[in-house]
Chain A
Amino acid sequence: MNMKTKRVDLLIIGGGPAGLAAACAAREAGVTNLLILEREDALGGILRQCIHNGFGLHTFQEELTGPEYAARYIARVQELGIPYECGAMVISLSPERRAVYVSRTEGIVAVEAGAVILAMGCRERPRGALGTPGWRCAGIFTAGTAQKLVNLEGRMPGKRVVILGSGDIGLIMARRMTFSGAKVLACVEIMPYSSGLKRNIVQCLDDYGIPLLFNHTVVDIHGRERLTGVTIAEVDGKKRPIPGTEQEIACDTLLLSVGLIPENELSAMAGVALSPATGGPVVDETLATNVPGIFSCGNVLHVHDLVDFVSAEAARAGEMAARFLSGEKTAGERIPLIAGNGVSALVPEVLSKRPEADVTFMFRPRAVYRNARIAVFRGGKQLAVKRARILAPGEMAEITVKQDAFCESEGELTVSVEEVGA
């Protein structure tokens, strides 16, 4: 097929916080021929609809709303003259770093890239993944969809709302729906704890008297054309509903805030190895995937708590891609890491034999640990240790290993957590 073909040194797929920060860093590191492709009509990604404040304390030392945080990076992209296309959706990516995108203005376009940064972000776990019974009636939305409807399109999804799951987007939407005139009846969480921030539980639920029901879930959905109510029930230790605890709540809207999934269809097409633990690409400490010249950062790599950390990680991916393009040899053999006791979603998951800098490992604790100790071991030798007053699955934990520690040790690397008592 005779399609328009562009050649760039660096292609960045996704114009959200990760793509923007990666592009700026790569440009600053000397990459001039680069391109950001964004499928929405504007840059900024999910930040555009996150109109609440709380972004940027680490990056800018001030508290911004999502659109304000995005605007700072967009301004920088424009200042640096970085080319971007909006309304441009990448539909394929090959291991040879050839991408094809579709755009209303350009049609079908191929891009041959010297390096690619995957920055596609994540999407929400949908109703279909939950196995809830009931008709496919209207009135059931993921929290992020409701957020888009309210904040970007000026529409109200409903008036009487139940929220399933207590992730941060669900909590934020409890307050937004209340602000917009809806009555939020309850937030129902199957776990005995919330994955959301304490601040959000207090300021989005407690402030408005919205009950947060732990160890509860939705067991039935009522309504044929439009949702008319849900039945909730308490669950036991194995998350099975306890008979006799059912109660029905009349509502016209159910919002789902039950987890985020990195969006890696393109990565898989390009032969990028994906991790069952994170749902994202397996990367080494340079954010390089197993496919030479393809890097990954942000929520497509692993779901972050704070956009500030996404920006920092993405900037590193931009620098690493620039180094790759300048011809620096990539790491040869890579050592797999072991996620030990209490550690899930470990990033990086593999390591070069000789890391060239200190390496920070990020992970999600499997449970709530008080007075915990995080440690990195290699062949019985402790490379790093860190105490933490509290670790919880809702907050990403990290530990840094000094570069020289790697040189002085051999064998398998394990990151683990244990409780050490008060």
Chain B
Amino acid sequence: MKRELTCIGCPMGCRLTAEFNGTEVTEVTGNGCAVGARYAREELTNPKRMVTALVRVVGMERPLSVKTEAPIEKRLVFDCLAALGAVAVAPPVRIGDVILENVLGTGVNVVATEDIGG
């Protein structure tokens, strides 16, 4: 099956066409360089995204910014956001504090990206 995607490797933004059989990318065309081929393979076989989000802080109107320590599978992004929607942290919080351990069983922790309180 042919899949169309835009390479994010550089501002060229090559329009890539990849032959993808559901598990493997067999051919990439349209790429100006090797970055495009690699991007198409990763993006089609195992797309991942960093998630940055906000969680509630007990006793404050302002939220706390957090991130996944590493990219997680793209299909889990909204589940991850939903899981974080159920979290409320109590200050003080320091950068790097684990806010949600092993989110959705990915092995990836969600950590604070700012200090709040204290």
Residue numbers of A with Cβ under 8 A of B are: 48, 51-53, 63-65, 67-68, 71, 150-154, 179-180, 197-199, 201-203, 206-207, 389-390, 392, 394-395
Contacts and interface: CB of A to CB of B under 8 A. Distances in A.
A71 B10 contact: no
A68 B54 CA distance: 14
9 contacts: A51-B65, A51-B114, A52-B52, A67-B95, A154-B61, A198-B12, A203-B8, A207-B49, A390-B12
- Top 8 A-B pairs, shortest CB-CB distance: A51-B65, A67-B114, A199-B8, A198-B13, A65-B113, A154-B63, A390-B12, A52-B52
Interface of B: 5-8, 10-13, 32, 49-50, 52-54, 56, 61-63, 65, 67, 74, 81, 95, 113-115
A50 to B, nearest CB: 9
B116 to A, nearest CB: 10
B62 A154 contact: yes
B7 A198 contact: yes
B6 A71 contact: no
A201 B6 contact: yes
A389 B61 contact: no
Contact of A390 (B11, B74, B81, B115): B11
A395 B11 CA distance: 8
B95 A53 contact: no
Contact of A394 (B11, B54, B65, B67): B11
Given A51-B52, A52-B52, A197 B11 contact: yes
Contacts of A52: 52
Nearest to B12: A390
A128 to B, nearest CB: 29
A152 B62 contact: yes
Contact of A68 (B62, B74, B95): B95
A285 B5 CA distance: 42
Contacts of A64: 113
Nearest to A64: B113
B6 A202 contact: yes
A153 B54 contact: no
A389 B8 contact: no
A53 B50 contact: yes
Given A152-B62, A154-B62, A389-B12, A203 B6 contact: no
Given A52-B52, A53-B52, A206 B6 contact: yes
A221 to B, nearest CB: 29
A370 to B, nearest CB: 8
B68 to A, nearest CB: 9
B115 A71 contact: yes
B99 to A, nearest CB: 13
Nearest to B32: A389
A65 B65 contact: yes
B66 to A, nearest CB: 8
Contact of B10 (A68, A153, A203, A390): A390
Contacts of B6: 198, 201-202, 206
B54 to A, nearest CB: 7
A33 B8 CA distance: 45
A52 B62 CA distance: 17
A64 B32 CA distance: 29
A390 B65 CA distance: 35
Nearest to B68: A53
B11 A198 contact: yes
A51 B55 CA distance: 12
Contacts of B10: 198, 389-390
Nearest to B81: A179
Contacts of B67: 51, 53, 65
A63 B62 CA distance: 24
Given A51-B65, A151-B54, A67 B8 contact: no
Nearest to B115: A71
B62 A153 contact: yes
